[in-house]
Every structure is written in C-alpha cells, then in structure tokens.
Amino acid sequence: MPKTSRQGVLAAGNFIVDYVKIIDGYPAQDMLASIISESRSNGGGPYNVLKNLTAMKVEFPLAACGLVGDDTNGQWIKRDCQNHRIDVAQLHLSKEHPTSYTDAMTVESTGRRTFFHCRGANAHFDLKHCSFGKTQARIFHLGYLLLLDRMDTFEGGQTVAAKLLFNARSAGLETSVDMCSATHLQFREIALSALPLTDHLVINEIEAGLTLGEIIDAKNAGWLLRSAEQLLSLGVKKTVTIHTEYGAVCATA
C-alpha cells in the first residue's frame, strides 16, 4: 500500500456495556447465588481497543463506528467515548433495538467468569453505518466476526463483513480484524470469507483453530507460528497475530 497522509484508527462493530457482577458462587440450575458487587464498563472489541489506546495516551485520532440503542446504555457509551476524545460521528443510535450488553458473572473465590449476552443493536450493524468518505483514519479495525449477525450474513458468496472490509481497503485504509470465540456452524466459512480482505488479523488460538479446522496447543509456540503462517496463506495480506494466555506469536507476509 502506498504512503498515505491518513492517520488514526476507525474501530467498528461491537459496542457493548459490560455489567460485571461479583457473585459468591455459581449456582446449580434452579438455585440462587448472591451478587456481592456490581460495576459497569466498556465491552466489545472496537470499544475496548479505543479505550485502551486512549489509556496509552496515543496522539493519533480515534473514532468509533457502530450501532447502539437510543437508550440509557447507548447514551452512556456515547458520553464515555466523547470523554475520552473518541469521535462518535459514526456511532449511530437505533430507536428499534436496545444497546447490546453483557452480564459477566464472576465467582469471587476463583475469578472464573460466565457471560450472558444480549446481542441488541449490534446484530443490525450494516454497511450503511460506515462511511469511509468521512474519515481520514489509516486503520479500520472490525470486531467481532461471529458476533455481528448482519455482518456474518452471506450475500452473493461472501459475507457482509467481507464487503465492508473491501470498501475500507478501496478507500485507502488498512484493515484489522478480530473474532469472537463463538460456537457457530459456519465459523470457518465466515472467517475464510474475510481473510483475503484483511491486512492484520489478531485472534486467539481457539479462533485460529476453528478457522483452520483443528485444535491448537496454546503452549506450543511452533504450532502457533505455523498456524499463523497458514492463515497468511489463506489470504491475510500483512500480519497474523495469535495470542494465548501463555504469550503470542506474529507472522508477517
């Protein structure tokens, strides 16, 4: 890709409110657990990336692109972004669908978490919500594949997400993609549709395995690196990063 005057990140896709609830224990079916404390925070790949970059005090522009409900949670997300110098011109409000949220139940003694997710407005995020003529961003980050219902829909042999990534690259942006570790009958097909339109792929070993059709040993760095190289051979243009709880590998084209 030629040199460009573009700078910054436009992050699109899942914008979620996480309700983190600390509980005394995970209950059996039909039984009760007590909530000890509760807090609210940002959730979803693009939202988290933008907030993390803000915390790192980066000097380049940051912008959000997504669909949230025209409700209390949606207004909270919008204010939170604005308070952290994140442009919200392409963060759209829906009157038909609620803001996506997740109840994250965390057992106090172990730290183990269980997630209850409402897909909400994120499920309806579409091509029309992203205008690349209105951004000077250098990188378009999209997440999560497998948790954006409309984006994961196939039309004319490719997913809507693939079409969105094509539009971004055609406008001169580099594309970055993240996935969700979700159970989906078409996981591999959805992932493969997007890879040839992806410059930078950043996923974990579970998502890499589901894309390649194998179970990857997260402790085996050589295996992880070979998997990253396989994903490059399937169409990723520049870099594949696979992260695990033990570390990460990155393969470049």
The string of pLDDT tens digits covering residues 52-84 is 999 999 999 999 999 999 999 999 999 999 999
**Percentage of the chain lying above the pLDDT 70 cut:** 99
Task: Report yes or no: 114 and 103 within 8 Å, Cβ to Cβ.
Answer: no
Within a domain: residue 247?
A: no
Domain count for the chain, please give it.
1
Is 1's pLDDT higher than 50? no
- Measure the CA–CA gap between 154 and 163, rounded to whole angstroms: 10
Domain of residue 180: give its range.
Answer: 9-198
Buried b (16+ CB within 10 A) or exposed e, 88-106: bebbbbbeebbbbbbebbb
Does residue 103 belong to any structural domain of this protein?
yes
Q: Mean pLDDT across the stretch 8-15? A: 98
Residue whose C-alpha is closest to residue 195's, from 205, 187, 184: 187
Pairing of strands 139-145, 9-13: parallel
Average pLDDT in the 151-162 region? Answer: 97
CA distance 182 to 122: 15
Res 141 pLDDT > 80: yes
**208 falls within a domain:** no
Q: What value does the mean pLDDT take over residues 206-225?
A: 97
Q: What is the pLDDT of residues 180-190, one digit of tens each?
A: 999 999 999 99
Segment 227-245 shows an average pLDDT of 98
The domain that holds 89 is classified in CATH as 3.40.1190.20
Q: Please check the confidence at residue 210 and state whether its pLDDT lies above 60.
A: yes
Per-residue pLDDT, 81 = 98
Extract the tokens encoding 46: 């693009």
Residue 223 lies in a domain: no
Q: Does a structural domain hold residue 241?
A: no
pLDDT digits (tens, 9 = 90+) for 188-206: 999 999 999 999 999 999 9
Give backbone dihedrals phi and psi of 210, rounded to 5 degrees, phi first: -65, -35
pLDDT for position 2: 55
Percent of the chain whose predicted confidence (pLDDT) is above 90 = 97
pLDDT at 3 over 80: no
Predicted pLDDT of residue 4? 73
- Residue 73 lies inside a defined structural domain of this protein: yes
Q: Are 125 and 149 in contact (CB under 8 A)?
A: no
Please indicate, yes or no, if residue 219 is contained in any of the structural domains. no
pLDDT at position 218 is: 97
Residue 188 within any structural domain of the chain: yes
pLDDT at 135 over 70: yes
